[in-house]
Amino acid sequence: AQSVTQLDSQVPVFEEAPVELRCNYSSSVSVYLFWYVQYPNQGLQLLLKYLSGSTLVKGINGFEAEFNKSQTSFHLRKPSVHISDTAEYFCAVSAYTGRRALTFGSGTRLQVQP
């Protein structure tokens, strides 16, 4: 079984400041890692995913994430945020084998202030 912990439920930040959204996971099997974003009244959109290889993954809208196997973490970062980045961000994992379903964290609400 897998579990995902997003350490911050809300992150307020000023526009053009850097931001880091933290994600830790626990799993008895190898997993793929994902970050999704949800804008108000919309479904989820994939920001980036880590499958294998380089531990630094670049995604859409200037986001990147770093996989750290020893710390079982997959933190999301952006060097300079915009008002339009205000949304809910979800970290998720999916097992290599067996049940294919995504296991999500509880989400982090990023609030970008002018």
When asked if residue 42 is in the footprint of other proteins (CB under 8 A), the reply is yes
User: 């980045």: which residue's tokens?
Assistant: 85
For 83, the token pair is 């008002």
The answer to whether 87 and 76 have CB atoms below 8 angstroms apart is no
Q: Is 32 in the site for other proteins (CB under 8 A)?
A: yes
| Least Å from the CB of residue 69 to other proteins | 17
Pairing of strands 108-113, 10-14: parallel
Among 67, 90, 108, 110, binds other proteins (CB under 8 A): 90
Q: Minimum distance from CB of 102 to other proteins (Å)?
A: 7
Looking at the Cβ atoms of 98 and 114, the one nearer to other proteins is: 98
Q: Does 49 bind other proteins (CB under 8 A)?
A: yes
